[in-house]
Structure 1
Amino acid sequence: MKNNYLNMIGLAYRARRCSLGEETIVKDIQQRKAKLVLIANDIGPQTRKKLTDKCNSFGVPFIIVDDRETLSHAIGKSQRVAIAILDAGFATKIKSLLG
């Protein structure tokens, strides 16, 4: 189950339906492009507050998932603490896999 959602993140990344980096994610939330934001559970408190507050104010769902190592490994990049999913289909599937 857990592995399946990581596979979906990898597919979304390869399909270019993800955004990475704090500023890019915040911009995508504000422009309502982001359909789901995945946040690592070991993210810094200031970054966590910034992302969760933006998600709450713009009505974008977010999920706290595994640590940054697992999240980074899913997309083949290093030290990624948050990923915004830009496609509604991928977002729905990942939410269903995470319960």
Structure 2
Amino acid sequence: GFARRAGKVSVGSSQVQMAIKTKRALLVLFANDASEKTKEKILENAPGVLPRTVLSLSKAELGHLLGRDMVGVISVNDERFARTLKELIPQKMWIKPRLQTVKRERKYFSPKERKHYDRRRKS
């Protein structure tokens, strides 16, 4: 709640898209039940190097943490807060991206990420 009021977090797809366009977003977090359409809409404007992950929290749980009803996506706009958030959230709450789930987003990878992705797919 405090980070949202301080402008360190953008909540919801339209605010997150604006943060990405203005290059304020440092980290994008999706709820585990956020739709593929929402993810694609957000990531179509995101640079390939923008860190993004899916939390093992539902939209209702993520919304509760932020003092709202349901939230599918947030962006962290402050470097220190992003670093702290990664340390504070238990590792079990982060869903490690698997190659199968990332396959649809390959076009958003940087050239280096694409090379790594393609190499992993062949082995």
Q: TM-score, normalised by structure 1?
A: 0.76
Contact kept in structure 2, 1:21 and 1:80, CA below 8 Å: yes
**How far off its partner does 1:80 sit?**
0.9
Q: Comparing both chains, which one has the higher relative contact order based on Cα–Cα distances under 8 Å and sequence gaps of 6 or more?
A: 1
In the TM superposition, what whole-angstrom CA distance separates every residue of 1:43-98 from its partner, at most 9, and x where no partner exists?
Answer: 1111122223433x252211201111110000110111111111110101112334
* Corresponding residue number in structure 2 for 1:84: 75
CA distance in 2, matches of 1:15, 1:36: 16
Matches within 5 A, 1:1-99: 10-55=1-46, 57-65=47-55, 66-98=57-89, 99=91
Q: Which runs of 5+ in 2 are unaligned?
A: 92-123
Q: Considering only aligned residues, what root-mean-square deviation do their CA atoms show, in Å?
A: 1.8
Q: Which amino acid aligns with 1:83?
A: I
Q: TM-score, normalised by structure 2?
A: 0.63
Corresponding pairs, count: 89
Q: Which amino acid aligns with 1:13?
A: R
Q: Which runs of 5+ in 1 are unaligned?
A: 1-9
In the TM superposition, what whole-angstrom CA distance separates every residue of 1:10-64 from its partner, at most 9, and x where no partner exists?
Answer: 4422433111221221121122101111110101111122223433x25221120
